[in-house]
Structure 1
Amino acid sequence: MESRSKSNHQLQQGVCSARPQKRSPSVIVIGGGIAGLAAARALQDASFKVVLLESRDRLGGRIHTDYSFGFPVDLGASWLHGVCKENPLAPLIGKLGLPLYRTSEDNSVLYDHDLESYALFDMDGNQVPLDLVIKVDKIFKMILEETDNVRQEFSEDMSILRALSIVFERKPELRLEGLAHKVLQWYLCRMEGWFAADSDSISLKCWDQEELLPGGHGLMVRGYLPVIHTLAKGLDIRLGHRATKIVRMYNGVKVTVENRKTFFADAAIITVPLGVLKAKSIIFEPKLPDWKEAAISDIGVGVENKIILHFKNVFWPNVEFLGVVAETSYGCSYFLNLHKAAGHPVLVYMPAGKLAKDIEKMSDEAAASFAFTQLKKILPDASSPIQYLVSRWGTDINTLGSYSYDAVGKPHDLYEKLRVPVDNLFFAGEATSVLHTGSAHGAFSTGTMAAEDCRMRVLERYGKIDLFQPGMGDEVSVIPLQISRF
């Protein structure tokens, strides 16, 4: 990009000078994921001077479309959860003409595929009869309804797993045995995959607080990268710039990166992943308020990975995914079939929670071998993959986790506390979305929200607010008073 050729001296004097004489308001956006790009795009379109600092040598964050197989495959986010006009990403995806493959007609939290597309197998390679799969599905929903009764009865929070044990104690007729028990564990495995966490750490009181958009789940057939490129077009982006220190001053902010360069601006929008904030990889001066640090500490961050296996030929059933049932959810497996969705001979193994963390301790070769071993259990004649890719979101220094979830004993309003600005620091990302945590559209919407909050705050300081002009993409409307408890 042309703007990348600017020297840091020019940036300090032009974009980020602390002197208030005639110049445009300036903002530093930290993090080049979809939240950071959405914020930077909105502010630049509002005539702000914006520089975006990204630690990696690529954009997208936890959106990472890989082309090494000769076609796009997403190692991170790959679904649009809520294929509808209410989804804030829908207009952009529609304008780009990106096709979606709908993997579910409903908006269930429990799984993102319709029952008719399941092909479940036991460890001996025998396919589970569909009528048993449907029967267990109904029982699992009954069990979850009973856990709601447990939630209403107990004042203190507990894990989903503990609530399940209480249900089985009270209603032993819901306790399954044999193959049906293994299928039930597979459903629990898929529920854990949604939260990227094990059921013994997911909050009973808060697990279903997410607002699900209508329209079901749509797989991005060509990957998410075109969305990232569109948002990034024309922005001043500095790749390989890892923020290490953020200083709040009375007249702006100063951001120091790993190579000791410093950037100055009126405000900053912080969109780094929750795992990075938890690791305290960035020093804040003065330190963040206790309520903000508590939110960072107490929101859960889970791990879900992808081991992508590319084969020469298709040898598996023509269903959207293959599943392996087992005695425990830890032993269950899940493979997404990209051939049905996108026409490529690819299966994607998707471990979550403790299993994902254990696999991250392996080499890429060993991880791919592990995934293939799970596949051989159900398809003994499976041919070896010709290529593979392995994600490591839990140990990647730039993420340290996949996405957030409600931990046991912690209130759901922590997401709102993480979003609330601190002076001229604004926060965005999936973990700041109260209703759409863990989703690409949730991250995107928090980026645009933080941009508007930042725009108003900075223009307020400059005395340039025009109350009779609409905000970024908004109609003129009555704005409610902002009242916060934090």
Structure 2
Amino acid sequence: MSKGESRPDAVIIGGGFAGVTAARELTMRGRRTVLVESRDRLGGRTYTKDHDGHPMEFGGTWVHPLQPNVWAEIQRYGLETEPLPVMEGLRQAVVSGGRVVDLSDDDVARAMELLDQFCSPGRTLFPEPYTEAWGPDPQGIGDRSFREQLATVKADPVLYDWLEAMCCAVALGPLDKSAVTEYLRTYALSGWSAEQASAALTATKLVKGTRELIDGIAGQATLADIRLNSHVTRVVQSDGEVRVELADGDTITAPTAVIALPMNVLNSVEFEPRLSDTKRRAADERHAGAGRKSIVKVKGDIGNVSVLAPEAYAVNWVVTYAQGGPEGTWVVAFSSNPDRLPMSAFDDTAGMQEALQPLLPGVEVESIVGWDWSNDPLSLGTWCIYRPGQLAGILPDLRTTEGRLFFAGADSAIGWRSFIDGAIQSGYHTARHIDDYLNNGSR
């Protein structure tokens, strides 16, 4: 290797939460690593950026005490959390029948009962949600999309539209391409409770953003040489080592490597020998997470709102992010199917204003910030939501070691897959396995 003074024990490719956690955990075991990240920052599909006096979360945001790994890290570094949305004074509504219908506390309780019914197959499908074990599935729900499962629901129109909109918010991808098992698994991880699952998904955020957590973990990876703006083009296993080639011509060698890349971009790196057919097929198929998250400043004080809308609408959930009084309000708008969004780019305020009208009639958009994760070549998607059949078809192989290559990431984690929690868990797991591998004399 042309940089650094000593050969590392592992090269870690990817500086999201999985890769950075693996680097810290290997440091704790006395292992030296080189972590290479293509971006100019750490965090992967989490990205905190200061804007208008607020730490804006362009990517992953929510954490919760039900998520044991991320919550332990929050406690470890003494980080502050806060609710989002703020429940006090929250106006909850859903678009149904072409109008905005405000929901009373009783309406919300009925909606949660419907969500419990919708997710109830998770009790038998995922009796032990922290394992890969499946329970009995005589109805074949494991192969269904959200749309197919919604077709089995009988409810009054307002509650049905609320349920469909909730599915859009969870999938952040087209409902006919997103596996309903992803919601059922989250339900199981939340104690088989719709109310708890909703809280785990969207209730608590870090006051200073996810950036503070990734920096805390990286700060303890003292035996890691962290290199930003370092794009990997090729990974070769030969002669008892792994050779990692970078776009700038540098080469790093080590006895092992951690591949901590999103599933959708695995094929952007050349591997020799080639990765398994299943891994390559998974990257070709991609997961279904392709929606858009936009942080939008609207004119005036619109209050503390949370409005849902079913899939036919361009925006499926809008929620107050930061109230600024008469100077304006920041909201977050989620679109599960960007093809329906009449917004060409994040500077298209007219397109976003049109998209928000069904949810917030009369609202005036002043500015928009965000990140286009689906067209970012380093992610090619938002959070991982498997397609029907992928859970059984690709998940076990995504984690399978290939020679001296170990795999980590939120997209293949045990438990809270797709979440920051899952990425951290995966980093723990992979670091332990590499240390065991090296301790057994495989150098």
Aligning the two structures, in what range does the TM-score lie when normalised by the shorter sequence?
A: 0.7 to 0.9
Shift of 1:407: 1.7
- Give 2:316's aligned residue: 333
Change (3 A) 1:245 1:301: farther
Alignment partner of 1:152 out of 128, 131, 138: 138
Asked if the contact 1:429/1:442 (under 8 Å) is kept, the reply is yes
Q: Is the counterpart of residue 243 in structure 1 residue 232 in structure 2?
A: yes
Shift of 1:115: 12
Change (3 A) 1:62 1:332: closer
1:441-470: CA deviation from partner (whole Å, max 9, x where unpaired): 10011012111111111222268xxxxxxx
- Give 2:68's aligned residue: 87
- Give 2:425's aligned residue: 445
Output the CA distance in 1 between the equivalents of 2:29 and 2:391. 35
Shift of 1:193: 2.4
Shift of 1:114: 11
The residue correspondences of 1:231-380 to structure 2 (distance < 5 A) are: 231-233=217-219, 234=222, 235-277=224-266, 280-297=267-284, 300-311=287-298, 313=300, 315-319=301-305, 321-323=306-308, 325=309, 328-331=311-314, 333-339=316-322, 345-352=329-336, 355-356=337-338, 359=341, 362-366=344-348, 368-380=349-361
- Give 1:479's aligned residue: none
Q: Report the 3-state secondary structure (helix = DSSP H, G, I; strand = E; otherwise coil) of the residue aligned with 1:197.
A: coil
Asked if the contact 1:103/1:114 (under 8 Å) is kept, the reply is no
The residue correspondences of 1:124-163 to structure 2 (distance < 5 A) are: 126-130=100-104, 131-132=106-107, 134-143=109-118, 145=120, 152-154=138-140, 157-163=143-149
Amino acid at match of 1:365: D
Q: Is the counterpart of residue 98 in structure 1 residue 79 in structure 2?
A: yes
1:239-296: CA deviation from partner (whole Å, max 9, x where unpaired): 111111000123210011112221111111011111111xx11010011233443454
Output the CA distance in 1 between the equivalents of 2:252 and 2:370. 35
Q: Is the counterpart of residue 454 in structure 1 residue 430 in structure 2?
A: no
Please say which structure displays the higher CA radius of gyration: 1
1:55-114: CA deviation from partner (whole Å, max 9, x where unpaired): 11111111100113222010001101x315x6112232124332223459xxxxxxx989
Alignment partner of 2:61 out of 65, 73, 78: 78
TM-score by length of 2: 0.82
**145-154 vs 397-406, greater mean Cα deviation:** 145-154
Output the CA distance in 1 between the equivalents of 2:27 and 2:184. 36
Superposition RMSD in Å? 3.4
Asked if the contact 2:119/2:184 (under 8 Å) is kept, the reply is no
- Give 2:51's aligned residue: 68
Shift of 1:322: 2.7
Output the CA distance in 1 between the equivalents of 2:376 and 2:255. 31
1:29-76: CA deviation from partner (whole Å, max 9, x where unpaired): 001111110011111232222111111111111110011322201000
Amino acid at match of 2:38: S
Output the CA distance in 1 between the equivalents of 2:365 and 2:141. 52
Output the CA distance in 1 between the equivalents of 2:139 and 2:368. 48
Change (3 A) 1:248 1:114: farther
Shift of 1:138: 3.3
The residue correspondences of 1:21-60 to structure 2 (distance < 5 A) are: 26-60=9-43
Amino acid at match of 2:43: G
Output the CA distance in 2 between the equivalents of 1:424 and 1:309. 45
Shift of 1:305: 2.3
- Give 2:407's aligned residue: 427
Change (3 A) 1:191 1:380: closer
The residue correspondences of 1:408-427 to structure 2 (distance < 5 A) are: 408-412=388-392, 414-427=394-407
Q: Report the 3-state secondary structure (helix = DSSP H, G, I; strand = E; otherwise coil) of the residue aligned with 1:240.
A: coil
1:3-53: CA deviation from partner (whole Å, max 9, x where unpaired): xxxxx5243xx333xxxxxxxx52110011111100111112322221111
TM-score by length of 1: 0.75
Q: Report the 3-state secondary structure (helix = DSSP H, G, I; strand = E; otherwise coil) of the residue aligned with 2:19.
A: helix
The count of corresponding residues between Structure 1 and Structure 2 is: 416
Alignment partner of 1:209 out of 182, 185, 193: 185
Q: Is the counterpart of residue 436 in structure 1 residue 416 in structure 2?
A: yes
- Give 1:119's aligned residue: 93
Change (3 A) 1:286 1:126: closer
Shift of 1:308: 0.8
Amino acid at match of 1:78: T
Q: Report the 3-state secondary structure (helix = DSSP H, G, I; strand = E; otherwise coil) of the residue aligned with 2:94.
A: strand
Output the CA distance in 2 between the equivalents of 1:391 and 1:357. 16
Change (3 A) 1:187 1:332: farther
Amino acid at match of 1:267: T
Change (3 A) 1:241 1:88: same
Structure 1: give runs of 5+ residues left out of the alignment.
Answer: 1-7, 17-24, 105-111, 169-173, 464-486
Q: Is the counterpart of residue 225 in structure 1 residue 211 in structure 2?
A: yes
Change (3 A) 1:336 1:409: same
Amino acid at match of 2:307: L
